[in-house]
Amino acid sequence: MERRLADLPTEEWNDVRVDITPREYVLDYLAHSFPVQLYEPFTDSEGNLSSRPVYRDGQPVESREAVARRDELIAQLASLPPVPGALDQIVQHFGTELVAEVTGRSRRIVRRSTPSGGDRLVVENRAAAANLAETQAFMDDSKRILIFSDAGGTGRSYHAELSARNTRLRVHYLLEPGWKADAAIQGLGRTHRTNQAQPPLFRPIATDVKAEKRFLSTIARRLDTLGAITRGQRQTGGQGLFRPEDNLESPYARDALRQLYLLLVRGKVEGCSLERFESATGLKLMDANGIKDELPPITTFLNRLLALTIALQGILFTAFEQLLTAKIEGAIAAGIYDVGLETLTAEGFTVTGRQTIYTHPGTGAETRLLTIAQR
C-alpha cells in the first residue's frame, strides 16, 4: 500500500480510485518469477538423460509456450475484481466507528460517506498514540471490534477484565498465526489473562483450500514443542487451541501418509492415479524393486500440495485426513492415545491410592502416582 500511495498525488488521497490491494504484488511475482526459460534435453557422459537451459549469444532463450501461459495468467488475474487485504476489508466493512486497530500502520485506507449518499475511499493518517487510544476505546466498549498485529501483540491486554466496562465474551479469530510459536502465544495471551469475567473463545481461520492447513499445522506443531519445553507437557503449548488432527507432522500423521502412499501405489485413491500423483508432485514412490523404502517425508508432501490444483489438493488431502482421523480414533479406542493434560469435572475427587515411583538419589525428593476416584 505504501508503495502505491507514494505514486499517488496527495490531492487524490481524499478520493482514492486506484487499486491498492495485494494483487499488484502477485502480478509482479508472475511477471518476474514465472519460469519462461527454454530447456533442452541432453545425455551426459554416463548416458543419463537430463535437461539444461538454452542460451543464444550468452542470453537466455525464452519458451514461447511458457511466455504465452504467463501472459495469459497475468491477464486472467488482472481481470478479476481486486480483493483488499484482511485488515483493510475488516476496517472498510465495519467502519472505524466499530473497529479499533492496534497495528504498526501510520496510514490506512478507510471508507467515508459522501453528501450524495454514496461512499469513497480516503487515506487516513494515524498518530503515534493511536494504538493507545484504540485499545482504550475497545476496553471502554466504545468500539466492539479490535484487530491487532504483532505491533499490538506484546505488552497489551484485551481480555474481559473485571475492572473494564467491556466484559463481553472475547471471540479471538486467529487470522495469521505466523511461524513463531512464542509470538503466537504472546498474541493469544492478550485476550486470556487473570482477573477476567470469562475466558475467550479462540477460532483459528483457514479457507477451503486444503493445502492452507499446512500453515496451521506448522504453528500447531511448534506450539506443542514450546509447551514441552516450557511446561514439560507438549499439549499445553497450544492451550487447547488446536485439535490432534491439526498437527499434520505428528507420528499419527506420518503413519497416515505412509498408508496413503500405499493406497496410491495400489490405485485405491479415487480420482488420483499413481502416475498423476508422481507427475503433479514430482515425488517418486516406486523404484525397480517396487515401493521405495525411503518415501518422501510429511513436510515434503505438504509443501508439494501447495503447488497442486485446488481440485487435486482436495482429493489428496481429503484421503489423507480420513486416514489421519482413523489413526487417531483407533489410538483413542485402544486406550493408547496420549491426550496430555486433561481437565476433570466432578462433584469431588477422593485419593484412593498413593505410590512412590521415583526417589531422587541426591535430594530424596519423591515423585508419587496418585489414584483418584470421582464422587
Q: How far apart are CA 119 and CA 193, in angstroms?
A: 40
Task: Give the model's confidence band at 237: pLDDT under 50 very low, under 70 low, under 90 confident, else very high.
Answer: very low
Q: How far apart are CA 341 and CA 158, in angstroms?
A: 26
pLDDT of 296 over the 90 cut: yes
Task: Say what the pLDDT of residue 233 is.
Answer: 42
Task: Say what the pLDDT of residue 281 is.
Answer: 95
Four-point Cα dihedral 65, 69, 74, 76, nearest 10: 140
pLDDT of 238 over the 80 cut: no
Task: Give the model's confidence band at 156: pLDDT under 50 very low, under 70 low, under 90 confident, else very high.
Answer: confident
Q: What is the mean pLDDT of residues 20-30?
A: 86
Chain centroid to CA 167: how far?
29
Chain centroid to CA 195: how far?
30
Alpha helix segments (H runs only) across the chain: 2-7, 23-33, 64-79, 86-94, 130-139, 181-188, 213-231, 251-265, 274-281, 298-305, 310-334
Q: Is 189 exposed, middle or buried (0-12, 13-18, 19+ CB in 10 A)?
A: middle
Going by their DSSP bridges, the two strands 59-60 and 119-125 should be labelled as unpaired
Task: Give the model's confidence band at 263: pLDDT under 50 very low, under 70 low, under 90 confident, else very high.
Answer: very high
Q: Left (φ > 0), alpha (ψ -120 to 50) or beta: where does 335 sit?
A: left
pLDDT tens, residue by residue, 123-155? 888 998 999 999 999 999 999 999 999 887 677
pLDDT of 228 over the 50 cut: no
Q: How far apart are CA 190 and CA 168, in angstroms?
A: 15
All 3 cell numbers of residue 366? 519423591
Task: Say what the pLDDT of residue 102 is.
Answer: 95
Q: How far apart are CA 277 and CA 272, in angstroms?
A: 6
Task: Say what the pLDDT of residue 219 is.
Answer: 74
The pTM (predicted TM-score) of the whole model is 0.70
Task: Say what the pLDDT of residue 65 is.
Answer: 96
Task: Give the model's confidence band at 241: pLDDT under 50 very low, under 70 low, under 90 confident, else very high.
Answer: low
pLDDT of 225 over the 70 cut: no
pLDDT of 226 over the 90 cut: no
**Side-chain-facing half-sphere of 82: CA atoms under 13 Å:** 14
Q: How far apart are CA 340 and CA 134, in angstroms?
A: 38
pLDDT tens, residue by residue, 213-223? 887 777 777 66
